[in-house]
Structure 1
Amino acid sequence: MLPSAINLLPTPTAGDSKQSGSAGYDSGHDGTTLTDAAVRQPDRWGEYGPAIRRWEAITRPAPEPTKLNAEGNPKLSDEFDEWLMGLLAGWITDVPGITWNEVLKACGNGVLPQQAVAGLRFLREMARWGQVAA
């Protein structure tokens, strides 16, 4: 029942940085990108509005989802990607000398802090009950 009650945000992909509307998501996704939702919907975040507002209540206000590249075209904002991960502002984006591509790679290959905590708590409980080696 819980999954049906939650409207999750799509995972940003490399396609978000190059184009809008045709980014490749997991099968079954309608192809709407975060950029599309922010630009085309009367409510700034479209169908993702409730999820954005919930995450803002837990973290901080959402940064702009896109910024302009050198040619003036929108690309995924690294600050937005960092925010989606639940990281503190600047945790990755303020690292001296890191490029936009490196920030996106770090976010994409990173572990969500909330997931790490949940996993460690689960393992601690399993160890406590002797179900895994301590």
Structure 2
Amino acid sequence: MPEQTEQRGTALLVEDEPFVAMVARQILEDEGFEVEVASTGGGALSYMDRDGHALAMAVVDLGLPDMSGNELVQRLLSLRADLPIMIASGHGKAELQSLFGRNERMALLPKPYDVAMLRRALEELGFVIED
């Protein structure tokens, strides 16, 4: 019988590439998150209006079709200043740090990423990852 992963709450995954969203969703579910997926910034904000108070974290792709990821991150933080956010982008980590600075509630996840990179970013946000 497979080992049960501790439930960590809901993660909002904001990603417009279906394959990337599918893979990221699976990794997050394997790490114990219930995952809500939005493919646009508007969809993410709509979710925040309904259930944003209950989110454990968000993963935001910066390349969204309807608004810049930078704007979405700022709007998410204006709604929930304590929300841990993982920023996924094809930009390098140094470029992401220059955009967002250092913030203990944010983890930078350069794309393309793999399971180990996403797990490391979860640890940066304070989630305990077990091997």
Q: Report TM bin, short chain.
A: 0.3 to 0.5
Rg comparison, structure with higher value: 1
Q: Identify the structure with bigger relative contact order (alpha carbons < 8 Å, sequence gap 6+).
A: 2
Higher strand share: 2
What is the TM-score when the length of structure 2 is the normalising length? 0.33
What is the TM-score when the length of structure 1 is the normalising length? 0.33
